[in-house]
Amino acid sequence: MYIGVDCGTQSTKVVLIDVEGERILGEASRPHRLDEGEGGRREQDPGEWIAALRGAFAEVLATTGVDARAIRAIGVSGQQHGLVALDATGEPVHPAKLWCDTETAAWNAALIERLGGENGCLDRLGLVLQTGYTASKIAWLRDTRPEAYARIATLLLPHDYLNFWLTGERVAEAGDASGTGYFDTRTRHWRHDVLAEIAPELEAGRVLPRLIASHEPAGTVRPEVARELGLGEGVLVSSGGGDNMLGAIGTGNIRPGLVTLSLGTSGTVCAHSPEPVVSDSAMVANFCSSNGGWLPLVCTMNVTSATTRIRELFGLDLATFGERVAAAPIGAEGVAMLPFFNGERVPMLPEATASLDGLTSVNTTQANLCRAVVEGATLGLRYGLDQFGRLAEGVREIRLIGGGSRSPVWRQMVADVTGSRVICPEIADAAALGAALQAAWCHHQFQSGGGELADLCARLVRLDEASRAEPDPASVDAYRDVYARYRRCLAERHATH
């Protein structure tokens, strides 16, 4: 048996799989609180992640009846980019600043300039720094919280922190490290010189975790944690990775020709590449994958976070919200929304706000507003897919994951907006499944030096045929006009920022 953990923005999920029986035995989750503030502040208490992991782990064992001593390895996926700075005792010096935190936008812009602009970033890192990456969070902490900054002994990411709690080891792997802003994504090494530009007082060799390969274990579960969870001795913890990297594994996206698109709190579009990627767009991040290759990726910051705001504004449950979206026509009778409630990364508008356009006394209806926010989030992902250029050519299908993928209306909208076949895996939380698959791969490699991740994916990543959505030609044509209008709205917004 193998456990996969996914620590997201809103909750921590746990999946339990039986590899020999080729079965997903159970899932459970526990929520945690997001602390929001003026200026784009988005923070969380890392202690809540551990509490959620404990609760979800206990529930999945209770509901499946599995003896915890049958578990051989654990894999952890985590929200990318979050800064978890620890002191010498292993305690956070400040709440974790998250991927969606835009309070550090000015620090990010200053770092890009200091590194020589976009070309300088590409030369040193293989990608261009974006607001939300870990680098600007460290710079912000240095300038605004000097007492906390002075106590830093270790710099970790959220999934690294959970690995540290499980094993006591301070390690990192290339996929998640790609989003820090001080890691060369082509050579898979820390850039000590870049960290020195960000935080000159911190000694890179002391504060940065040890890098391990994707198939290597981070360590074994500490005896006191094993006793608490009911585990046997010597349970391995795999390298883990960022949620996007483990989500790709959980959809079987470990070879060219597929695109994984996530309708989560944020939205992501990614595709596998066997070699580093240099895109024509600075918005495409040349991230490493968590299985040895590369994962060029685009991330938008407002997807279910945006639709939830409108749904809750009207006091609608999910089913009723879906009915309202379906009741409105394509284009929402001229109502267009740029749902940039959290600022936006793609397009690069970190300080933008949400806006509505085209409202009249006739079209201002609940249904049109509900559809407009879903269309706005989806068109933003289409814009991100366009940034891939030739990388998106020849894609056979889009594998859709995240909470929004459960909506038939939204699945069809993605198919029509992109003009591509869409299908969901049976497990919507692909990151937790990917973490469990990576744990099994790590255990097999550790035991015998054999076992292929592709074989594990083929056996356990199952597609839900009932979720398949084919693009409707008439709707594809209609969305061309809607998308053209979206691009015009974006151009106007860029002109004012």
Residues marked as catalytic: 243
Whether 133 contacts 201, CB under 8 Å: no
Distance between CA atoms of residues 210 and 402, nearest Å:
31
Whose CA is closest to 435, among 91, 137, 166, 192? Answer: 166
| Number of residues assigned to the chain | 497
Q: What angle, rounded to 10 degrees, do the helices at 473-496 and 408-418 form? A: 80
- Give the bridge partners for 337, in sequence order: 356
Whose CA is closest to 357, among 496, 488, 267? Answer: 488
Burial pattern 194-218, b for ≥16 Cβ within 10 A else e, equals: bbeebbeebebeebbbebbebbbbb
Residue given tokens 């602390």 in the structure block? 35
